[in-house]
Structure 1
Amino acid sequence: MRIAIFGAGSTGCYLAGQLCLSGFDVSLICRPAIKQTILANNGITMSDYQGFLHTVMPQTMITDIEQAPTAYAAFDVVFVTLKCHQVSSIANTLIAITHSNSSIIFMQNGLGSFDTITDALGHCNLLQGITPFNVLQQPNGRFHKGTEGVFTLQQNEHTQTIQTAMQAQGFGCDLHQDMTPVIYGKLLLNLNNALNAITDLPIKQQLSQRDSRRQLAGAMTEWLNVCQAANITLHQYTKVKPQWLPVILSLPNMLFTLLAKQMLDIDPQARSSMWEDIQAKRKTEIEFINGAVVRLGQLYGVKTPINNAIVAKINQLEQLV
């Protein structure tokens, strides 16, 4: 099975590392800076909050895929790990590097980007996946997993093979037939991405502040109300049901700290991908995360003032950088 990671940044490199260690032929389609970093440090170094540390070199790193896509044709599986706003422009390239039985797995946060490209890719098996944990790029080609969770993919023959190989190496990999509850449930947790970028603090430190937690609780409540109006049940990612998260987040610091230890394991230095985008002066995915709450709120007649305000603040930060 030939696998490509299209748009390999922090999450894509971590996924590539796990797939390489699981025995797959993996190619990175990445920016020149990522390739140079990996070459300079003799591979992708993966680490996590539990002490895992391993370095692996992918088989191929491609930086010119749009100039000569046919030279890299016939990938069996392509994981698309680009940002949401970049997805709609790559249909022709994906067609050029896949075949009729290929699986293309879109790994974007939030809602909306998958719909922008599906009509152009009817020849392939189009799947969705998510990364329910945080990966932050660190110096010396190191990609650090800062929170708990495992890659979660839509089920078909290719992803079943991937799951079996990854589990044999001790890596978790969850499969689901219906990804809607999974993606909508992940969006509930992703609502903190923007708030983490706004506060400019590690997630654990940010969540130690009750005012920040209350704002997150309000944003989550709006999304829960939208999902209720849409009659969508959310997949549960924490040890408590999604409906209880705003209640727990609103608790006084002492009670929250006690319960949070049992809810979610997190590295003290973990930060959100949106924080990383702001720091790197890149466009964020705000319109596909908190912005999606606002859009669907309008569709179903649910008010979303907190998410509206968060979108406005991130838009301001993007303009400032």
Structure 2
Amino acid sequence: MRTTYPSIAICGIGSVTVTIIYALYQNQIPFKILCRNQTRFQSLTENPISFQGPNGKVVRIELNNHLTMTKCDQDKFDYILIGCKNQNLSEYLDETKSLLKSNGKWILIQNGIPELQFQSYESKIIGGVVGWNTQTLSKHTYFQSNIGSLILGEAQGSEPDSFWKKILTPFIPVILTDELSGYRWHKLAINSIINGLAAAKQLSLGGLFLNRQSRIEALETLTEIKLVMNRLEIKERVVPGSVSIQKLGGGPGSLPRWICHLILILLGLKYFKIRTSMVQDLDAHRKTEIDFINGEVVDKAKELGISVSRNEWIVRKIKELELAQ
């Protein structure tokens, strides 16, 4: 007997959503890709996506039968995954809200804490915390460098439906949680260094973590975020494969500094050539998401009266780099 799944659409194709598309494609789960303009529609029609997973195998994904124009589609969906930058979220939600069923939900897989931007939509949002890294090698080629989980949690604080595990595993391990904020803040802290600090210095992860001064700055960044998290009483939830901010950040519960340095060195060696998304944005002269990563930390710290000078420096430096482009 054939299993029937909720209807799924994806709006915005990028490195993260392509990894999810790959899992759906491999599991033969029906899905639609909502194209916002004719040029994108035509490009995806004519050019299959080439995806290389951590096992090294390259798969060509034909999307012809999955494509539709957002403004022309008459279907309504149970779930719409939104794959865009934080600064474009409002626009994407406005364009797709008519395509959600009355009890349908968006899935926001952006960095930072996007749920805070749309609290009026709280009942219609599932947050997705991504634990893998996928890079764009060329216009139609993507490379996933590590296996990582997708952590899904309702913005209102409950666990999403268990069918997500069935449709994405084994290609993407899925964790369902009722503690989304704990995972969000953990990933925000990690992104503050691998994206924020790396972009401020315009370095690959190898260049960042194999330099002692940069490691010191990374640990200072995490220590400030740990202080903010503790003041907000955020119960940290660690993304699988990562290390607790409570242990990396200075102060109570911290690991010895030499061990923290060793962890960062090992990360630098493992992902030596990786230039993370915000670094790539600066490389391509695109506006970054800095306001939603380290900028989020700075804003919360100001509300709490906490000094976060290292995070402030990162925000200031990246904005200077954006203006200089």
TM-score by length of 1: 0.85
Q: Which residue of 1 aligns with 2:117?
A: 116
SS in 2 for 1:318: helix
Change in CA separation of 1:142 and 1:203 when aligned onto 2, cut-off 3 Å: same
Whole-Å Cα distance in 1 between the matches of residues 285 and 36 of structure 2?
16
Whole-Å Cα distance in 2 between the matches of residues 36 and 270 of structure 1?
30
SS in 1 for 2:258: coil
Whole-Å Cα distance in 2 between the matches of residues 106 and 285 of structure 1?
15
Q: Which residue of 2 aligns with 1:23?
A: 28
Report the Cα offset of residue 44 of structure 1: 2.2
Residue identity matched to 2:277: S
Cα distance per residue 1:188-227 (max 9 Å; x no partner): 1011202222333321332111111111111111000001
SS in 2 for 1:8: coil
Cα distance per residue 1:32-87 (max 9 Å; x no partner): 6765654454x22222344243222233234x52xx25x24312210112111111
The answer to whether 1:274 aligns with 2:278 is yes
Alignment of 1:1-321 (within 5 A): 1-30=6-35, 38-41=44-47, 43-58=48-63, 59-62=65-68, 64-65=69-70, 68-69=71-72, 71-111=73-113, 113-119=114-120, 121=121, 125-139=124-138, 141-154=140-153, 159-167=161-169, 169-192=170-193, 193-237=195-239, 238=241, 240-246=243-249, 251=258, 256-257=261-262, 261=266, 266-321=270-325
Number of paired residues?
Answer: 309
Whole-Å Cα distance in 2 between the matches of residues 30 and 291 of structure 1?
30
Change in CA separation of 1:103 and 1:31 when aligned onto 2, cut-off 3 Å: closer
Report the Cα offset of residue 116 of structure 1: 3.0
Change in CA separation of 1:298 and 1:140 when aligned onto 2, cut-off 3 Å: closer
Change in CA separation of 1:260 and 1:40 when aligned onto 2, cut-off 3 Å: farther
SS in 1 for 2:303: helix
Cα distance per residue 1:2-48 (max 9 Å; x no partner): 2111122221222212122122222223466765654454x222223
Q: Are 1:135 and 1:273, in contact at CA under 8 Å, matched by a contact in 2? A: no
More displaced stretch, 27-36 vs 127-136 = 27-36
More displaced stretch, 50-59 vs 304-313 = 50-59
Whole-Å Cα distance in 1 between the matches of residues 192 and 177 of structure 2?
22
Q: Are 2:136 and 2:143, in contact at CA under 8 Å, matched by a contact in 1? A: yes
More displaced stretch, 223-232 vs 206-215 = 206-215
Report the Cα offset of residue 139 of structure 1: 1.9
Structure 1 unaligned segments of length 5 or more: list them.
Answer: none
Residue identity matched to 2:192: L
Report the Cα offset of residue 303 of structure 1: 0.5
Cα distance per residue 1:266-303 (max 9 Å; x no partner): 44332211112112222211111101111111111210
Q: Are 2:105 and 2:124, in contact at CA under 8 Å, matched by a contact in 1? A: yes
Structure 2 unaligned segments of length 5 or more: list them.
Answer: 1-5
Root-mean-square deviation (CA, aligned residues, Å) is 2.8
Whole-Å Cα distance in 1 between the matches of residues 31 and 117 of structure 2?
26
Whole-Å Cα distance in 2 between the matches of residues 137 and 83 of structure 1?
15
